Amino acid sequence: MDRVEVRVVVPGEAGRRLAALAAGLGWSAERVLAVLAEHAQVDDDGLVHVPPVAVTAAPPGLEPPPERAPVVYRERPRFGRDEGGEGYGGPALDW
């Protein structure tokens, strides 16, 4: 699998540090966590650690494209149409 999506709550002081770091870089907290996850290592005892890694803002002109809102797939209500969807307008993308 090339991609994993997670929802996480980082409470307390760790959450405040993460938010401050992300804000200082102009990044989202999710992006900061993704960079740290890319460098995470597991040792022989099963301990997970992240070696020192430079997390810095991109130089001018090399900023990544702005993050896009996710696309939500939904179906229109059927309102009495048959099981096969006859007369049904089909699925819609909610941007």
User: pLDDT tens string for the chain (95 positions)?
Assistant: 678 888 889 999 999 999 998 888 888 898 888 888 889 999 999 999 988 887 777 666 666 666 666 666 666 655 555 555 555 555 554 44
What predicted TM-score, i.e. pTM, was given to this entire model?
A: 0.54
pLDDT for the residue 16: 94
In 3D space, the residue among 55, 17, 26, 28 whose CA is nearest the CA of residue 39 turns out to be 55
| SS3 of residue 23 by DSSP | helix
Q: Which of 54, 24, 27, 51 is nearest to 39 (CA)?
A: 51
DSSP H or E segment with residue 30? helix 29-39
pLDDT of residue 86: 53
Return the pLDDT at 2: 78
Range of the domain at 90: 12-94
Please indicate, yes or no, if residue 70 is contained in any of the structural domains: yes
Distance CA(93)–CA(33), nearest Å, equals: 29
According to the model, what pLDDT value does residue 63 have?
Answer: 65
Helix (H) or strand (E) holding 89: none
Number of domains in the chain: 1
Residue 7 forms part of a structural domain:
no
pLDDT at 1: 67
51 is a domain residue: yes
pLDDT at 3: 80
Task: List all residues 6 or more positions away from 56 whose beta carbon is below 8 Å from its beta carbon.
Answer: 25
Note whether residue 5 is domain-resident: no
